[in-house]
């Protein structure tokens, strides 16, 4: 690997609000980082792609214009096979349409090869190459952010399915009632609608409205989000703690089902909501163990990402730019 130490790729993590860019060396060292907004654009993706390409060029200049082997991008609803972002509901310029982002960005960067995959898949690649899943061949990464994403690795290979969209575990239905929460995807009762940063905030608003007799400092929070719920829980607020118990219980039940599907060695939690730590992990494990088949009880690890926040997705996206990177880093 030493002969590659002067070669770099660009890893890009496109989120619903911001897009993070990293210039990454073959050993995982991130030489430079920058961020641009993803939101605030109209329905045409051209302006975003132009601004993204400009930010990449600027960052490369700040890093001394290193030799770049390629660009890897992780994005919601991204298709590895086609290089398109397909109907990403949380991104204005990709909602209800298919955006050939790999092709567009490659053209804007002068023809450099651009590879694209789902953001949660990118996080899974990053964990396998550099993080908590290093040495594992069977695991699931769950990204807990604005939505709930997942990257499934089986036998050392990412699971893409026949059309490139496998692994949308956030849209497994956990509530089949007609009045279940409406998810951003258009379905009702999706796990994402309950067990994401957005879902935690929705639970808090619903419970505060339905339980007016329960005192809580959350009643006085102007912009109620999952961070406010976490801070209230840490301060001992019973309602906030109950929200995390409820969220963890739902995740644990779902994880037990995911285990039955792919029998992973571990489930790795990544993303903003995972910062809640044991407030979330403890009820997840309790609920998962309660709902697992006996053959898996006590065998499935629930871990947190060991990579600095956002680096898993950047590193995973950058891995797409290396030929045979994962096999080279398997030792």
Digit-coded pLDDT (tens) for 26-68: 888 999 999 999 999 999 999 999 999 999 999 999 999 998 8
216: in domain? yes
Instruction: Tell which of 74, 92, 118 closes a domain.
Output: 118
C-alpha separations of 328 from 74, 81, 213 in Å: 21, 23, 59
pLDDT above 70 covers a percentage of the chain that reads 95
**Same-domain pairing of 230 and 189:** yes
pTM to 2 decimal places: 0.85
Which helix (H) or strand (E) is 290 found in, with range? helix 278-291
Query: Mean pLDDT of all residues in the chain?
Result: 91
Q: Please tell me what DSSP assigns to residue 294.
A: G
Look at the chain and report how many structural domains it folds into. 2
76: in domain? yes
Helix orientation angle between 226-234 and 197-210, rounded to the nearest 10 degrees: 70
**Same-domain pairing of 111 and 65:** yes
Residue at token pair 């239905």: 173
**Same-domain pairing of 194 and 286:** yes
**Same-domain pairing of 192 and 289:** yes
**Same-domain pairing of 101 and 137:** no
**Same-domain pairing of 18 and 112:** yes
- Please give the Cα distance from 280 to 121 (Å, whole number): 22
Cβ neighbours of residue 51 closer than 8 Å, sequence gap 6 or more: 36
Locate all alpha helices (DSSP H) within 131-262, ordered by sequence: 197-210, 226-234, 238-262
**Same-domain pairing of 149 and 292:** yes
Instruction: Tell which of 118, 148, 171 closes a domain.
Output: 118
**Same-domain pairing of 144 and 69:** no
Nearest to 321 by CA among 129, 18, 113: 113
Structural domain span for residue 240:
132-304
**Same-domain pairing of 136 and 240:** yes
328: in domain? no
Residue 324 burial (C-beta neighbours within 10 Å; 0-12, 13-18, 19+): exposed
């Amino acid at each position: 690997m030493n002969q590659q130490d002067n070669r770099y790729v660009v890893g890009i993590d496109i989120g619903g609000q911001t897009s993070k860019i990293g210039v990454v060396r073959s050993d995982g060292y991130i030489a430079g980082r920058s961020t641009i907004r993803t939101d605030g654009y109209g329905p045409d993706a051209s302006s975003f792609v132009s601004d993204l390409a400009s930010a990449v060029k600027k960052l490369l200049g700040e890093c001394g214009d290193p030799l770049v082997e390629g660009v890897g991008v992780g994005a919601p609803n991204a298709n590895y096979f086609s290089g398109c972002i397909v109907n990403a509901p949380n991104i204005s310029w990709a909602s209800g349409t298919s955006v050939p982002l790999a092709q567009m960005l490659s053209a804007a960067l002068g023809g450099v090869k651009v590879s694209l995959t789902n953001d949660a898949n990118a996080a899974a690649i990053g964990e396998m190459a550099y993080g908590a899943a290093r040495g594992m061949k069977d695991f699931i990464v769950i990204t807990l952010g604005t939505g709930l994403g997942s990257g499934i690795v089986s036998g050392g290979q990412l699971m893409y399915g026949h059309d490139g969209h496998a692994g949308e575990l956030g849209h497994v239905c956990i509530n089949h009632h007609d009045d279940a929460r409406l998810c951003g995807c258009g379905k009702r009762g999706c796990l994402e609608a309950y067990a994401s940063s957005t879902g935690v905030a929705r639970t808090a608003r619903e419970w505060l409205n339905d339980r007016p007799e329960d005192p809580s400092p959350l009643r006085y929070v102007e912009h109620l989000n999952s961070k406010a719920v976490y801070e209230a829980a840490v301060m001992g607020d019973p309602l906030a703690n109950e929200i995390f118990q409820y969220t963890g219980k739902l995740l644990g039940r779902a994880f037990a089902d995911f285990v039955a599907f792919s029998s992973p060695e571990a489930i790795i939690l990544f993303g903003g909501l995972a910062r809640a730590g044991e407030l979330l992990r403890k009820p997840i494990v309790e609920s998962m163990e309660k709902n697992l088949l006996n053959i898996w009880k006590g065998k499935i690890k629930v871990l947190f990402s060991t990579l600095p926040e956002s680096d898993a997705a950047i590193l995973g996206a950058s891995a797409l730019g290396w030929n045979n990177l994962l096999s080279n880093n398997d030792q």
